Amino acid sequence: MNSPFTNGIAAQRLDADALAENFSDLHAPLDGHEAAVAADRCYFCHDAPCITACPTDIDIPLFIRQIATGTPDAAAKTIFDMNILGGMCARVCPTEDLCEQACVRELAEGKPVEIGRLQRFATDTVMAKGVMPFVRAASTGKKIAVVGAGPAGLSCAHRLAMLGHDVIVYDALQKAGGLNEFGIAAYKSTDDFAAREVDWLCSIGGIEIKTGMALGADLNIDDLTQDFDAVFLSVGLGGVNALSIDGDDKEGVEDAVSFIRDLRQASDLSALPVGRNVVVIGGGMTAVDAAVQSKLLGAQSVTIAYRRGRDAMSASRYEQDLASSFGVNLMFNAQPLAIHGNGTAAEIELEYTSTKDGKLSGTGETVRLPADQVFSAIGQTLTSDGGLDLTGRKIAVTGAGRTSRSGVWAGGDCASGGDDLTVTAVAEGRDAAIDIHGVLSEAS
């Protein structure tokens, strides 16, 4: 607003106070009294459906009972036993589609126990003390390479270290954390929580992190399998799909992943430019996060355009409603045709779509929207497969992450199976670590 801009993209659309308020914690943490009241609503079900709905199998009734009895440290230990990244998952996990959706209170009253916020209360209590509630086992003398310092890699590394192995974690970027550090909306993870969680996790010992080391460029599978007793790949999906339409090379057309990464690493949000009229193409969480944060930075008009109907969006209904609450327009059954403008984006042309017998097709009817900034959020791709067998576009795995090559495991977004959620990646990393430990123990 106060700085010059080209093509409608400008920094300083809002002042520092407004930005600080916009990017404050989305859900304020519970205090002790609020946690006790929330915990008191739990029925402590036998064969609790919330446990089954949790990808990491946390004993949810147990940790809530422990909060109710005034022992949040014990509750945190119950959580961390199954999910060492329970602090971040409490912030970003789609509990409304998982544990809270399965909650008996939700089914009976339409208002579940606030499992996610209770989990955050317990985990934050312990992490604030700098306490690591686990101790390493005696050294096994084994050394494992973990390639990728995101949720799956960190989960795997911690469990391996706890079991007595030495772990070196490599990451292509200059900072550990993966999606948690670079790919999640800033208002979901405030106060540099992702970095603090990495430091806390590594305090168990036996974990060394080396950044700026990418699979395929600086690392290769042959060397890793020769130098280490086992390898776990958790390289994520670093590539982004292009729009592949006329005008997608114009100034103002970007990928949403880079935008979110730059925002998360920005020391001064007022210096981050954003368009006046922003259109985001896609239907997943990346699209929602890019759209909402554009609005929070001061964009006047933000639209998410998705080629299918609302129910087909991979972003949860909760996230869709969240976007709407921030003033984001959700446009369904519309696919991009072209971006117009004289070297820089000015408008986007969209074609309405219809679906018949599961097949999507254009109707021929089009509409143009003002768009000085267009973000593509139509999926990410594997940048290096290490020469391993693939299933579709991901590394093929069986069991607890075993790949086509002996001694190499994989998990997280880069691996086949499962959904692309932080909590699922944590579970896959944990389970692979246990399987690696079993294989190495048998070989000893």
Backbone phi and psi for residue 254, each to the nearest 5 degrees, phi listed first: -140, 170
Spell out the domain ranges in the chain.
32-128, 143-238+382-443, 240-376
How big is the CA angle at 99 (ends 97 and 105), to the nearest 5 degrees?
100
End-to-end CA distance of the chain: 65
Diameter of the chain by CA atoms? 68
CA 372 to chain centre: 27
Contact 391, 270 (CB under 8 A): no
The sign one gets for the Cα dihedral 93, 95, 97, 102 is: positive
Contact 345, 250 (CB under 8 A): yes
Query: Strand, coil or helix: what is 212?
Result: coil
CATH architecture type of domain 240-376: 3-Layer(bba) Sandwich (3.50)
pLDDT at 443: 87
pLDDT at 3: 37
Q: Same fold for the domain at 143-238+382-443 and the one at 240-376?
A: yes
pLDDT at 7: 67
pLDDT at 156: 98
Residue 173 CA: distances (Å) to CA of 116, 148, 202, 422? 29, 9, 18, 18
Write the class of the CATH domain 143-238+382-443. Answer: alpha beta
The sign one gets for the Cα dihedral 22, 25, 28, 32 is: negative
What is the enclosing helix (H) or strand (E) of 108?
Answer: helix 104-109
HSE value, Cβ hemisphere, 13 Å, CA-based, for 62: 15
Gap between the Cα atoms of 303 and 322, Å rounded: 13
CATH for 32-128, options being 3.40.50.300, 1.10.1060.10, 3.40.710.10, 3.10.129.10: 1.10.1060.10
pLDDT at 249: 97
The sign one gets for the Cα dihedral 418, 422, 423, 428 is: positive
pLDDT at 139: 97
| Of 215, 151, 169, 238, nearest in space to 418 by CA | 151
Query: Strand, coil or helix: what is 168?
Result: strand
Low-confidence ranges of the chain (pLDDT < 50): 1-6
| Of 322, 327, 39, 11, nearest in space to 188 by CA | 322
pLDDT at 225: 98
Which tokens sit at 191? 């106060």
CA 57 to chain centre: 19
pLDDT at 8: 86
Range 49-53 contact pairs with CB under 8 angstroms and sequence separation of 24 or more: 49/102, 49/103, 49/104, 50/99, 50/100, 50/102, 50/103, 50/113, 50/115, 51/99, 52/102, 53/98, 53/99, 53/101, 53/102
Pairing of strands 230-233, 143-147: parallel
Gap between the Cα atoms of 80 and 216, Å rounded: 33
Residue pLDDT, tens place only, 93-122? 999 999 999 999 999 999 999 999 999 999
